[in-house]
Chain A
Amino acid sequence: MTQIGTGEAIVFWVCAVLSVTGALGLILSRRTVHSALWLALTMISLAVLYIANAAPFLGMVQIIVYTGAVMMLFLFVLMVVGVDSADSLVETLRGQRVAAILLAVGFGVLLTAGLGSALSGTMARGLDEANAQFGGNVEGIARLLFADYIIAFEIVAALLITAALGALVLTHRERIRPRVTQADLSRQRVASGAPGPKPTPGVYARHNAVDTPALLPDGTLAEDSVPAPLRARGDLRPIDTGAVEETRILAEGSPAVGPDVTPIADDPGSSPGEPR
């Protein structure tokens, strides 16, 4: 009936630029998460284009289903698969990338030029008449969906249920050993002889580095307070006898510990085995 107005032309050009940018970002981003976000941009601008194109219902469905559900599903799977799984740049087939780009450019030119020339000068008949027939866009779609397309609608419903079941079956993992409950875990911990947490390194010692073993109340080393790799390398800091003495004096209730009471060299940087 009529040409497209200026307001819609502005909306079209803004959203067209945004959606093409998003599409290019999708295929050019090195990181998969960035690709997903670019695709979300494309989908939102497409939703705006649907609404501009007299399809408010589809625009809303696009936002809810695509940017809301599908893209979130994509991001969810991205987090499962690993965010930083970057693409390999090795070409399995030699020259495939160049050939693909040439093919895409040729295809794009053919498609857009063909469509452009075939449709040039087309007038949009507009949906006002079709919408008015049933009292609105949503009502019109509902009428078609539940009258003319009812068989397709039912089949699609079955398809959705099948897809959901298929996803369940595909991602299901059979449990091959009995589930370890919290009661089992606590029983294990008590049976191991050390129900509490292990002493942390350096708590009763002079230094708080991880290679400083904690001292037990009787002054001996708590070996398992040092991480196992350090223990395997023999990197235990020896007992600081001065600290033990200081602890003893503190425990006996001495009012203050100063250099005149027990001279202790302050050695923050001494390494294990260094003569003091």
Chain B
Amino acid sequence: MNPENYIILSGLLFTIGALGVLIRRNAIVVFMSVELMLNAANLAFVSFARINGDLDGQVVAFFVMIVAAAEVVVGLAIIVTIFRTRRSASIDEPNLLKY
């Protein structure tokens, strides 16, 4: 087995996450799909760190995790706020700016 399998798995997971963002309507599921894409990118970072024999990739993956945690906190707060005013977690609902 070659280390490229890790990268291919990462690409597969990223694709599935992107598909989830495109086809799901529930804001929380869309958000979880974004998390999946971030995790797939992290797997690529970690694998490339090993392929290149360099710890920088792992440090960058660590930063991605921190930024993802901050993003989850703010994003979920926004979802809760929208849910309070609209009584819905669907991403098709907040369309007032359209009109």
Contacts and interface: CB of A to CB of B under 8 A. Distances in A.
A207 to B, nearest CB: 41
Binding site of B, secondary structure by majority: helix, strand, loop or mixed? helix
Contacts of B17: 23, 27
Given A39-B36, A46-B43, A122-B51, A163 B70 contact: yes
Contacts of A131: 55
B74 A170 contact: yes
A49 interface: yes
Contact of A167 (B12, B52, B77): B77
Nearest to B22: A100
Interface in B76-99: 76-81, 83-84, 88-90, 92
Contact of A144 (B32, B35, B51, B55): B55
A27 B47 CA distance: 25
A12 B7 CA distance: 12
Interface in A105-145: 107-108, 111-112, 115-116, 119-127, 129-131, 137, 140-141, 144-145
A55 interface: yes
* Chief secondary structure at chain A's binding surface: helix
A216 interface: no
A149 B74 CA distance: 25
Given A115-B4, A121-B2, A127 B49 contact: yes
A122 B5 CA distance: 10
Given A81-B79, A156-B63, A88 B92 contact: yes
Contact of B72 (A57, A73, A111): A73
Interface residues of A, number: 86
Given A39-B35, A73-B76, A156 B67 contact: yes
A165 to B, nearest CB: 10
Contact of B66 (A122, A137, A160): A160
Interface string A66-92: 100110011001101110010110001
Question: What 5 pairs between A and B have smallest CB-CB spacing?
Answer: A125-B53, A108-B15, A100-B22, A163-B70, A27-B20
Given A46-B43, A77-B79, A80-B83, 17 more contacts: A12-B1, A26-B33, A32-B29, A46-B39, A49-B9, A55-B46, A61-B65, A66-B39, A70-B35, A87-B25, A103-B22, A108-B15, A119-B7, A122-B3, A145-B59, A163-B74, A171-B77
15 contacts: A20-B12, A42-B36, A43-B39, A54-B50, A58-B58, A61-B62, A77-B79, A77-B80, A119-B4, A120-B4, A127-B54, A131-B55, A156-B66, A159-B66, A160-B66
Interface of A: 3-4, 8-9, 12, 16, 19-20, 23-24, 26-27, 32, 35-36, 39, 42-43, 46, 49-50, 53-55, 57-58, 61-62, 65-66, 69-70, 73-74, 77-78, 80-82, 85, 87-88, 92, 96-97, 100-101, 103-104, 107-108, 111-112, 115-116, 119-127, 129-131, 137, 140-141, 144-145, 148-149, 152, 156, 159-160, 162-164, 166-167, 170-171, 173
